[in-house]
Homo-oligomer: A and B are copies of this chain.
Amino acid sequence: MYYGYFNGTIAPTDQLAVGITDLSLLRGYGLFDYFLTYNGRPFQWDWYWERFQNSATRMHLPLPIGKQETYAVLMDLMERSVEAGSPADMAFRFVMTGGYAPDSISIVRPNLLILAEEIHPTPQIQYEQGIAVILDEYVREMAEVKSTDYKRVILMAQAIRSAGASDLLYQKGGEISELSRSNFFIVKGNQLITPNRNILHGITRRTILQLAQGDFDVQERPVLLSELYDAEEAFTTSSTKRVLPITQIGELTIGNGHAGPKAKFLLERFDELVKNW
């Protein structure tokens, strides 16, 4: 069993509920964030908090509690969840909405949910074989804000399944941005290249870019679809995917079609970092 926090109250997550005038329910007005703990410590907490704060500011939602108080909530939820039999490491999901709107449209006071959740790890076989993605001509609105707007990937779920793929790779006018919930990288020789616009600035992306310094020629810049043809490797990064090879993009096989050595190298670096977190 996991515990959650809702506007100051702590309870088992399956007992938490949101009233029906909430602006995320009525108007899609919400933001979120998501991260894991390693060795019982929230991973990259400073960076996640900074991002959550920025998202809130961009969406004109005043944060009801500060950083230290929030950290204390995390510790409390973790302790209660572990006492209730959950594993020591877990995920945390923040959801902040426009709050209850008696007139169905105006922000009065945001609702803040902080939920402890079970981690759903990416299956090991996906790291060994790589995943397939399909291209989608789309760019997320306000991509740099972690809003709750993920309509597109849910809408495309059937298309993804029919193609035997795992996710979407967004592109617009031939420029690649990101996957539906994770960032995108390609490798060419010693170059590690990742889009720098129309993306969510992922914390795992940032961590990987830091870990890659020294060993790679790191390039954050617009990436064109045409560059996929001579990419040797491609991979995606997120909290739960870590560094996950992409071996197929639409009809195109990336490199030799196998998970490549550079992605493996970076995954090992990442796993080492979190082991000692």
Residues on A lying within 8 angstroms of B by beta carbon are 4, 6, 13-14, 16-20, 22-30, 32, 59-60, 93, 95, 97-98, 103-107, 113, 115, 120, 141-142, 147-155, 157-158, 181
Known contacts A16-B20, A20-B113, A157-B107; is-contact A151 B25 (Cβ 8 Å)? no
Complex Cα–Cα for A32 and B27 (A): 9
- Asked if residues A18 and B25 are in contact (CB atoms below 8 Å), the reply is yes
Complex Cα–Cα for A150 and B103 (A): 14
Taking CB atoms, residues of chain B closer than 8 Å to A95 are 20, 25-26
* Contact with A20, one of B115, B142, B148 (Cβ below 8 angstroms): B115
Complex Cα–Cα for A93 and B153 (A): 26
- Asked if residues B151 and A29 are in contact (CB atoms below 8 Å), the reply is yes
- Asked if residues A154 and B27 are in contact (CB atoms below 8 Å), the reply is yes
- Asked if residues B20 and A26 are in contact (CB atoms below 8 Å), the reply is no
Known contacts A25-B30, A151-B29, A154-B107; is-contact A16 B19 (Cβ 8 Å)? yes
Taking CB atoms, residues of chain B closer than 8 Å to A97 are 25
Q: Which 3 A-B pairs have the closest CB atoms?
A: A17-B17, A27-B150, A28-B28
- Asked if residues B27 and A25 are in contact (CB atoms below 8 Å), the reply is no
Q: Which of A6, A104, A106, A147 has the most CB of B within 10 A?
A: A104
- Asked if residues A25 and B23 are in contact (CB atoms below 8 Å), the reply is no
Known contacts A60-B158, A120-B103, A157-B106; is-contact A151 B27 (Cβ 8 Å)? yes
Taking CB atoms, residues of chain B closer than 8 Å to A181 are 105
Taking CB atoms, residues of chain B closer than 8 Å to A60 are 154-155, 157-158
Question: Which of chain B's residues has its CB closest to A98's CB?
Answer: B154
- Asked if residues B20 and A20 are in contact (CB atoms below 8 Å), the reply is no
Question: Which of chain B's residues has its CB closest to A13's CB?
Answer: B20
